[in-house]
Amino acid sequence: MANVVVMLGPPGSGKGTQAKRLVDVLGIPHVSSGDLFRHHLSEGTELGRMAQKYMERGELVPDAVTVEMVIDRLRQPDCEEGVVLDGFPRTLTQAEALDEALREQGMAVSVVPLIHVSDEEVIRRITARRVCKDCGAVYNLAFERPEEEGVCDVCGGELYQREDDDQETVRHRLYTYYRETSPLIGYYFAQGLLVEIDGERPMADVQRDLREAVAQVGEPG
């Protein structure tokens, strides 16, 4: 049975970093809607230009466009064995569209880990986040500093701060999360798919709980 993991949690909860580590173990693709949008943006596509104005303001890109982009990605052959979704779905409409698309492919969401992190911690983490322009590696000036300031340890690329990672936009993204995305907690809880994880612990502990949650999928009880 294909594993479809939906990572849930506020921006800055570490779900992206945790998702990347998880796919290394599971050997299935990591599909991040934010990364897909940023890719379109850097390629200068029409979709990227359209998404940019929403991203800059910390608002959600309209459902129709987002759903089409992500579902297209899920139809690629490498997703047949499963996928770890990160940043999608973010609204009930997206969650329902995902369910329908998966059903057509004979699949279903298997588990929804929810990473809990307080608002203060979200703001502290995100404003300290730096990303490599070339390879996308993520650093944090508070607890995962690069060896040389401003330079990527992996590829030597230049580190930058995402435009939507400044304090004011982060507050707006959090507001958007509570308004649009938090209803998904109830949606997945009602289906018995939610697994809550305390995200304010060392990264390795969070990863261990996450792997446990995924491993228990389908086990009775």
Catalytic pick among 38, 90, 125, 130: 90
- Structure-block tokens of residue 103: 């059903």
**Site residues (CB under 6 A) for ligand AMP, limited to 141-170:** 164
Q: Is 90 a catalytic residue?
A: yes
33 is a site residue for ligand AMP (CB under 6 A): yes
DSSP state of 8: B
Three-state secondary structure of 79-106: HCCEEEEECCCCCHHHHHHHHHHHHHCC
- The stretch among 1-9, 32-40, 113-121, 150-158 that binds ligand AMP (CB under 6 A) is 32-40
173 is a site residue for ligand AMP (CB under 6 A): yes
How far is the C-alpha of 92 from the C-alpha of 158, rounded, in Å? 37
DSSP assignment of 31-57: EEHHHHHHHHHHHT-HHHHHHHHHHHH
Shortest separation between residue 186's beta carbon and ligand AMP, angstroms: 18
187 is a site residue for ligand AMP (CB under 6 A): no
Q: Is 49 a catalytic residue?
A: no
How far is the C-alpha of 63 from the C-alpha of 56, rounded, in Å? 17
61 is a site residue for ligand AMP (CB under 6 A): yes
Shortest separation between residue 106's beta carbon and ligand AMP, angstroms: 23
Residue of 55, 85, 97, 174 interacting with ligand AMP (CB under 6 A): 55
Closest C-alpha to 203, from 27, 30, 20, 29: 20
SS3 136: coil
Q: Is 162 a catalytic residue?
A: yes
DSSP bridge pairs for 212? none
177 is a site residue for ligand AMP (CB under 6 A): no
- Structure-block tokens of residue 90: 């973010």
Q: In the complex with ligand AMP, which residue's Cβ is closer, 3 or 94?
A: 94
Catalytic pick among 124, 162, 171, 211: 162
SS3 65: helix
Residue of 88, 139, 177, 188 interacting with ligand AMP (CB under 6 A): 88
130 is a site residue for ligand AMP (CB under 6 A): no
60 is a site residue for ligand AMP (CB under 6 A): yes
Residues that are catalytic? 15, 90, 129, 162, 173
